[in-house]
Structure 1
Amino acid sequence: MSRPCRDAARPPARERVEAAFWELLSERPYREITIAALARRAQVNHNTFYYHFTSLADLAGQQVDRTLTPRVPQVLISALASGAVDLRQLDADPEFLTNFRRICLLVGPHSTPWIIDQVRDSALQVWYSWIGREPDDLNTSERAQLAFILGGMLAILGDQTTNGAPATLESLVHTELGKAVATTFTRLRRSG
């Protein structure tokens, strides 16, 4: 397939398709998003979509990977471990806020179990790295604790609107869940 023409006056087609994905996911359930709707919103044709992505699932998977950068879970863990969130610093970081809001969309009511599983698996890998341990280094109880904590956090984030992301992070730090997360991560890092 030949490369689509580039219009210098607009963002590249791939960026427009990705932006259309986020817009549509904020408006409707993933299962109602179609290639036709994405192409229409991005102002590209079907061939252009398929030049960049093999399927809607491919697009969604790539967006999970691009959104869940190691920094987002690390900031969350650090905030929970320290018991403080500097919202001014986060407000000054539009990339962090965009990714945080997108994670809320990825695990929110418009998502699917498959996408939520992708987010969970990616976040767990970042967390294992942060505590300096491999999954096999943890016992069954410790792995269950991490999975339980992450499941709770994703449920909380999924209930939020994209505009509530910074306040959600701050309020999460001051909950019993936040304190339990901090205690668990501190213990797992020390015992590693």
Structure 2
Amino acid sequence: MGRPRYAPGDPHGPERFINAFWQVLARKPYERMSVRDVVAAAEMNKNSFYYHFTSLDDLAESAVADLPLHNIKQAFLTEEPPRTVASRTLSTDDGEERLRRVRLLASRNGTALTPLLEQFLVAAWSHDEEGHTAALSADDEIALNFVIGGMLTIHRRTNDDDAIPALLNFLGSALGQACVARLRHIGEASA
């Protein structure tokens, strides 16, 4: 069998499978997803899938790692008010797509993936600009997990149309501002 031919600009192997992963996750809970579903959505074959990934879990980890989660940390470390930062960050095309994907991972549709998302968010927050892991204090680690869990709860408890307004309302509240202040403290400590 010959190598697949791609039109210029078409995504290749791993990227096609990652895109297919998000398409399938939008329709079906991760717990019911199969490699066959992803392969069909990618219009590829199983051999190609297993050339790039060892399992569906491996693909899920690659898809989450592919999200630009470090941008979230950078946005929150500015001196702007949290509502302004969130509104600006989420109103871009890639911000909306990133939010849609985070919502898929945090929703009831992807509950098995929520711990993976939390792990990557904590890692994004606890790494400096060169990618080195900062040693967080136990208190900072607990606070970081608490705030991230709370933010993901907002996504689980709202529908698509209400997610951004709910997040902006939370960030405008006294508790939201305290959470952002703590995130900034943790982010500056790990910079």
| TM-score bucket (shorter structure) | 0.7 to 0.9
Cross-structure match for 2:20 = 20
Q: Does residue 35 of the first structure (1) align with residue 38 of the second (2)? A: no
Superposed displacement of residue 29, structure 1: 0.7
Q: Determine the structure 2 residue equivalent to 1:71.
A: 71
CA RMSD of aligned residues (A): 3.3
Aligned-residue identity in percent: 25
Q: Is the 8 A contact 2:67 2:98 kept in 1?
A: yes
Structure-2 residue corresponding to 1:111: 110
Q: Which residue of 1 aligns with 2:50?
A: 50
Q: TM-score, normalised by structure 2?
A: 0.77
Paired residue total: 186
Counterpart of 1:143, as a letter, is E
Distance in 2 between the 1:48 and 1:189 partners? 39
Counterpart contact for 1:72–1:100, Cα < 8 Å = no
Q: What CA deviation, in whole Å up to 9, does each residue of 1:95-139 have, x standing for no partner?
A: 2221122111112111144x2222212212222347xx966441x
SS of residue in 2 equivalent to 1:84: helix
Higher relative contact order (CA 8 A, sep 6+): 1
Equivalence map 1:129-148=2 (5 Å)? 129=127, 136-138=135-137, 140-148=138-146
Q: Distance in 2 between matches of 1:24 and 1:153?
A: 24
Tell me whether 1:101 sits opposite 2:100 in the alignment: yes
| Contact residue 81 and residue 181 of structure 1 kept, 8 A | no
Change (3 A) 1:180 1:27: same
Whether the 8 Å CA contact 1:107–1:116 is kept in 2: the answer is yes
Aligned-partner residue type, residue 126 of structure 2: Y
Q: What do the CA deviations read for 1:32-61 (whole angstroms, capped 9, x no partner)?
A: 111111112222121122222221111100
Cα distance in 2 for residues equivalent to 1:43 and 1:16: 9
What is the CA-CA distance between 1:62 and the residue it aligns to? Answer: 0.4
- Please tell me whether the aligned partners of residues 97 and 165 of structure 1 are also in contact (alpha carbons under 8 angstroms): no
Unaligned stretches of 5+ in structure 2?
Answer: none
Q: Shift of the alpha carbon at 1:178? A: 1.1
- Mind listing any 5+ residue stretches in structure 1 that lack a counterpart? none
Distance in 1 separating the partners of 2:175 and 2:2: 49
Matched, 1:173 2:171: yes
TM superposition shift of 1:79: 7.5
Which TM-score applies when normalising by structure 1? 0.77
**Matching residue's letter, 2:41:** R
